[in-house]
Structure 1
Amino acid sequence: MTRTRLKAALAALSVLVASVACSAATAVRSDGLPATLRVGVIPNISPETQRAQYEPFRKYLAERLKTEVELFVATNYAGVVTALAAKKLDVAYLGGLTYVQAEAQTKVVPLVTEVDQETGTPEYLSAVVTKADASFRSTKDVVAAGAKFAFGDVSSTSGSLYPRIMLADAGARCQVRDLTSCAPLSAVTFTGGHDATAQAVLSGSADAGGIELRILHRLEKQGSVPQGALRVVETRKVMGYPWVAGPDLGQGARAAIVKAFTEISDPRLLDLMRAKRYAAVSATHYNEVRERAADLGLLTAP
């Protein structure tokens, strides 16, 4: 075989392999569900912990929908948005802020959110915390003292957006173009996650931080944060994390996934998911997140 003919044959083989791989990745069953459902989860705790934590859920979804389920946990929140926009995910678990950032890049449809175990509603709580022995009694005290403040991931709703809202309402002048400028705070850092924010405040590298309250309670239960070591000085209600469908998931598949969530009855699985049950949601449930994110310069994922 000549070199030219060999190159042509190899090129044809490469196209064939790519075509088969693409077909396998996008194969859809007669009921509209993908043969392999690709599910993405934001890392609101460390990615390795998150992946292990969600394995029982992955198994449940695979058994309930009778399809293969692949679980993807990005290294940061923006990674899940990128994967959705690239059509590498069919379903994703996002924070409210990550969802509105995603919808600015691609067509995503909110499906369900958890009814929170602590509040008994589809809303949960974002908190500003300090060390228990600190003098601060409010977010206004934190701002007035020019404290060092720790956010979680920049795209976290309860670890970034709502703590920023609380700081702004307390008089901080948080800049839209420079998210690390929030005068008169002396320093602003982004730790990457709620568990890291808790440790930053505990260690004293930050005087206060923004954290999801139910995650703080879980860290206390696990012993990662000593019970009572952190004081909550303010909370705000946040619309629950939405599970969203990617742009290529059809209506029939969406309905099947919503049903799979709303019919979860295993208390162990619900406890794992921090839910009493699941409720359907729509884009309008996240209007406040969308509006405040735009006001504070967080509507676009970093």
Structure 2
Amino acid sequence: MKRGRKAVAVLMSLLLLAIGCGSGRQEPQDGLPTTLRVGIIPNISPENQRAQYEPFRAYLADRLKTDVELFVATNYAGVVSALVAKKLDVAYLGGLTYVQAEAQTGVVPLVTEIDQETGTPAYLSAVVVKARSPYRSTKDVVAAGGKFAFGDVSSTSGSLYPRVMIVDAGARCDVGDLTACPPLSSVSFTGGHDATAQAVLSGGADAGGIELRILHRLEKQGSVPKGALQAVETRQVMGYPWVASRDLDATSRKAVTDAFLAIRDPKLLDLMRAKSYAAVTATDYAEVRQHATALGLLTPPRGQ
């Protein structure tokens, strides 16, 4: 009987070993959770954003040897809420969303992309109008009392910097109510850059705030006819940071950072709109933090 029990135990051990080997799954790197929860802001429609980042999810899972779960919220604030609720380990945020998360919970910026168009960690926010519009500057739009469209209320290049531009052009925006910016006749929030482009194209807005590289991508995809919209003003913006929750230990944060810095696949980089990645710190977002504070965007806005 003892010999029989030993034989069964050996067989079970061999079976478990075979199952483990057959799975092809390795143990995650030291300190990493068995499932890394990654959140992404929807700077385009959430469905398209999720599909766009699937190759990255697969890359990260393979590089870190751990499961990676992708979360795309319906709006920018949803990712911040998930970070505050400790439901995410890593997140892709805009500069404004980052400083909003920083004000509410501990997050650590890790890396940002080197932009394909500028060749630097900065990219461009733009005020756009229809190509045949009478407006040739942001001041023209404001002075005429035009209709202005922002993207998501928490978008850096679709809300924060366009708001800076219209204020510099003479608009008197109410810090407490983001929809009040006289002499503009109306201010609306479309929820995303692609929707803002369509609002300006359709005449629903006379001008809108948009991330210029997203407009160029929409033109390549055929969603916006090339040359139908033109930028009348641009501002440089520090790149979108990938951040980590402070609950993710330093070893894991380094592993995630190294995974970004190691990306060399041109197709993957192109999907993620990057030439490469560079490490960043909280200091790199001082200007974003300053503008957000001045315009009252570090607290939940009214009028939304």
Same fold judged by TM-score > 0.5?
Answer: yes
Query: 1:87, 1:247 within 8 Å by CA — same for their partners in 2?
Result: no
Query: 2:29, 2:65 within 8 Å by CA — same for their partners in 1?
Result: no
Which residue number in structure 2 is paired with residue 77 of structure 1?
A: 76
Q: Tell me the alpha carbon deviations over residues 236-272 of structure 1, each in whole angstroms, 9 at most, x when there is no partner.
A: 0000000000121010001111110011000000001
Query: 1:78, 1:301 within 8 Å by CA — same for their partners in 2?
Result: no
Which residue number in structure 1 is paired with residue 87 of structure 2?
A: 88
| AA of the residue aligned to 2:98 | Y
The correspondence of residues 144-293 of structure 1 with structure 2, limited to 5 A, is 144-293=143-292
| AA of the residue aligned to 1:153 | D
In 1, Cα distance between equivalents of 2:29 and 2:110: 21
Q: Tell me the alpha carbon deviations over residues 135-173 of structure 1, each in whole angstroms, 9 at most, x when there is no partner.
A: 111101111110000000000000000000000111110
In 2, Cα distance between equivalents of 1:253 and 1:62: 13
SS of aligned partner of 1:150 = strand
Query: 2:109, 2:282 within 8 Å by CA — same for their partners in 1?
Result: yes
| AA of the residue aligned to 1:158 | S
Query: 1:127, 1:210 within 8 Å by CA — same for their partners in 2?
Result: yes
| Distance apart, 1:301 and its partner CA | 4.2
Query: 1:130, 1:230 within 8 Å by CA — same for their partners in 2?
Result: yes
Which residue number in structure 2 is paired with residue 16 of structure 1?
A: none
Unaligned runs of 5+ in 1: 1-27
| AA of the residue aligned to 2:138 | T
Query: 1:143, 1:167 within 8 Å by CA — same for their partners in 2?
Result: yes
SS of aligned partner of 1:265 = coil
In 1, Cα distance between equivalents of 2:47 and 2:289: 29
Which residue number in structure 2 is paired with residue 126 of structure 1?
A: 125
| AA of the residue aligned to 2:99 | V
Task: Name which one, 1 or 2, has greater alpha-carbon Rg.
Answer: 2
Q: Percent identity?
A: 79
SS of aligned partner of 1:299 = coil
In 2, Cα distance between equivalents of 1:30 and 1:238: 34
- TM-score normalised to structure 1 length: 0.90
Which residue number in structure 2 is paired with residue 52 of structure 1?
A: 51
The Cα RMSD (Å) is 1.0
In 2, Cα distance between equivalents of 1:190 and 1:232: 19
| Distance apart, 1:299 and its partner CA | 1.2
Query: 1:198, 1:225 within 8 Å by CA — same for their partners in 2?
Result: yes
Q: Tell me the alpha carbon deviations over residues 42-86 of structure 1, each in whole angstroms, 9 at most, x when there is no partner.
A: 000000000011000000000000000000000000000000000
| Distance apart, 1:116 and its partner CA | 0.1
Which residue number in structure 1 is paired with residue 30 of structure 2?
A: 31
Aligned residues, how many? 275
